[in-house]
Structure 1
């Protein structure tokens, strides 16, 4: 366990009251909506809450002294993505074997929502957290900020944050998927990825560039589309690529939402009478729905999101056992494999 974890003590409502110069009842009323509390007093209370790092305890009254909540907070970035549904099932599977339940929240790739969600989880007395980070900052995830609650990062890491982390081989997988396209004879290969601020987006682009460099090629800026966070944006980006005077003959997609965007645009063009031979081959990091029905060749950089969730939960439970691990934080990188779907 990272040094110092579980040692810090969360401030109490009485400490917040003393810091703000008000009564504990005034703090409670402010946090319950501010009824009968003057705006200037509310501001003093909220400032004290921020300065002390207080997290409202939503379930303490339901717990007997010494009793734990049995809850693990799981924060993902896209609740609508089946990938993260399977990831959460993996966490739940391992948690249930240890007599614990999960509560699930969605950040929508919004760091502000992530901060609020984590604060809510802490307020509900979770015993541990599994988080897919939505940004690059981890200041709100330090042991002091979390009151010593153990944390595991999944799929993405954060520079400067000492926490157990489980990742995929993003660079190697992206390179392998791109090599499959190169081996099939493609040299004009486009890249579809998500925001540059997303850890996996950067790593998968690195793998894409690496595979091209091995063949003496460099990415064509006109064929690189990034910042697509959903299917609709990926479909629009694919349309731009295929409308070029010299469109790509293949596309490497950095995640399943981008891949489905490609599928939508290819299907639209075929319905409009485009020739199948004019459609690009696809390599997708992550399997995606209906991949086996794609009318063009598809290569999948495959892995099991449920196993990723299981591994994250195992790392967390090692910190929560009868004899919690005090080992330094661990970084696990799980393998991927390149397979042909059609």
Structure 2
């Protein structure tokens, strides 16, 4: 059985016909591939992708047209407490509507995101909330999701016109960088995730606007934009601080980069190494930020509220068929909290 409510359900026989194999071969491949030759498995999975087929995991337990009571929630980093708070916000609203959430982690990997969405649709979720990766979005288009509503959180996907909740990334980053310039810093490094990530690009833009407005040149040797975890951020900060012209301040585009930078600064203090102890501006709060060895200014916002707002948009779609189909965007404010 297939895929989406509101669209004709594909059958295993149709997948088999498309792949040029028997229905039994399709069933065995989808069940793990035992006793199926690798070349046949590859043909079956290619047909699955081309047809947009999803296994209906709930078909035996749900009557036709009966909602599952589940909402699929996909985040990018389960290890980051920020996303734990985000998921709690979604769950609170879901509980108010008598639903439960299924939570999955993409790890910023496009293939994992596609598989996770496929699994959610196979479970016949009533709706989807997604912190998207930066890859191809074909699996998120209406023709693939049917009438399952989708809400994006924190990031947009180019060419995908759906309800979205964002943060004031550009404005917050601009104000945070201005605070460092106002304090007299001109050597300001930048730590962020890859530029293809929606928030990474917007937060760099705010940093860039502030530096340009004040006539302070950006030195590319102290800009690092490819750190997805704490370890990578720590290495990037080390490379910056090992320079003779090391930055006296660092703008960090998310809390994992901030923790990586602070880990490196702490190592230098413990080892008695010379050099600056740079001031930090962090977009996103993080654990024990008030106990850090250098001043940390936090561009703060409520991740739980972000989750709640995304869920409110989703349930308004689920509960009101007459709602204007035009996509809506909510942008939440941020605050600059000085130490």
TM-score by length of structure 1 reads: 0.93
Question: Where do 5+ consecutive residues of structure 2 fail to align?
Answer: none
Residue of structure 2 equivalent to 1:314: 312
Aligned length: 336
Instruction: Name the CA distance, whole Å, in 2 between partners of 1:338 and 1:10.
Output: 50
Aligned to 2:286: 288
Take 2:12 and 2:208, find their aligned partners in 1: how far apart are those partners?
A: 53
C-alpha change, 1:21 and 1:212, in structure 2 (3 Å) is closer
1:329 to 324, 327, 330: 327
Are the structure 2 counterparts of residues 43 and 205 from structure 1 closer, same or farther at C-alpha, using a change threshold of 3 Å?
closer
Q: Is the 8 A contact 1:234 1:261 kept in 2?
A: yes
Tell me the equivalent position of 2:46: 47
Matches of 1:38 and 1:205, distance apart in 2: 49
Q: Distance in 2 between matches of 1:68 and 1:297?
A: 51
**Superposition pairs for residues 1-342 of structure 1, below 5 Å?**
7-20=6-19, 24-37=23-36, 41-274=40-273, 278-321=276-319, 323=321, 325-340=323-338, 342=339
Where does structure 1 lack aligned partners over 5 or more consecutive residues?
none
Secondary structure in structure 2 of the residue aligned to 1:194: coil
Deviations 1:156-178 (A, max 9, x none): 10111111111101000000100
Matches of 1:180 and 1:43, distance apart in 2: 55
Residue 318 of structure 1 contacts residue 324 of structure 1 at CA under 8 Å; is this kept in 2? no
Deviations 1:44-84 (A, max 9, x none): 43333222110011121111233211111111110000001
Q: CA deviation at 1:38?
A: 5.3
Give TM-score scaled by structure 2 length: 0.93
Using the alignment, how far apart are the partners of 1:39 and 1:242 within structure 2? Answer: 50
CA distance in 2, matches of 1:217, 1:256: 25
Deviation per residue, 1:140-161 (Å, 9 max, x gap): 2101112331111111101111
RMSD across aligned positions (CA): 1.9
Query: Secondary structure of the equivalent of 1:140?
Result: helix
Structure 2: how far apart are the matches of 1:204 and 1:60? 44
